[in-house]
Amino acid sequence: MKRHGPWRAPVVLDNLIARKELAVMAAVFVDPGQSLAKDERGKSWWGDRQEEYDTLSPAYATFILTEILPEVRKHVLISDNPEARGIAGCSSGGIAAFTVAWQRPDQFRKVISFSGSFANLRGGQVYPALVRREGHKPIRIFQHVGANDLVANGVGSWLEVNKVMSAALDEKHYDHKFAIDQGTHCSVGAASILPDAMRWTWRDYPR
C-alpha cells in the first residue's frame, strides 16, 4: 500500500496512532498478485483470485493463516487475541474480508468492507440468507458502498446487494455500521472514510 494516492493507509494509521485514536498495530497489506486469466471473449480478469476472494470457501482464510501470518511473525509481534485482529478490503477484497471473519471468528473479529462484492459472482449473493439462518457470530462489521457503485448485467447492483446484506446483519443484531456516500466503486470517497472506519471498528479497544 503506497503512501501516496487516495487511500494512503499507512499515513492514516500512523496519524490515528499518533493521536491515540487507535491502538498501536501492525498492518499487513496483501497484493492479489498477477495471475491473469481470460473469459470466453478473451477479456482479462483476475481468475484464481476470484476463486479465493469471491467464493464462500475457506481458501483465503487458509492462505492468510498458514502462509501470510507465519511470514509476518518472523518480523512483527502479532497478538493471538481475535478481538485485536481486523481484516479489510474493497470490492472482491471486501467480501473476502467478511468471509475470513465469518469462517474464522476465532482468529479475526473485525471487518471493514468497502464496495463488497456480495453479488452474483461466485456465490456471494447468498450471504444475507446465510447470515439470517446461522447463529450469531462475534464479529463487528463496518460496511460501505457508493450510491453510484457498480451495476453489472447478470450480477446485480453493488448498492442494492450491500443494502440487502446490511439489512440481514441488522436483523441479526450484529455490531454493524453501514455507510453510503455518493461515490463509485472503491472511489476516493471510500478512501476518505477510512479514518472513521478505523475509529469505529476499534472504538473500544485499549489504547
Residue corresponding to grid cell 512483527: 76
Rg (CA), the chain: 17
- Tell me how many helices (H) and strands (E) the chain has: 8, 8
Determine the pLDDT at residue 48.
53
**CA atoms of 127 and 167, how far apart (whole Å):** 11
pLDDT tens, residue by residue, 31-83: 766 555 554 555 554 445 566 778 898 989 999 999 999 999 999 999 999 99
Q: Which of the four pLDDT bands, split at 50, 70 and 90, describes residue 87?
A: very high
| pLDDT score of 133 more than 90 | yes
- In the chain, the domains with their CATH numbers are 48-201 (3.40.50.1820)
Are the CB atoms for 105 and 82 separated by under 8 Å? yes
pTM of the shown model: 0.90
Determine the pLDDT at residue 177.
98
| pLDDT score of 27 more than 70 | yes
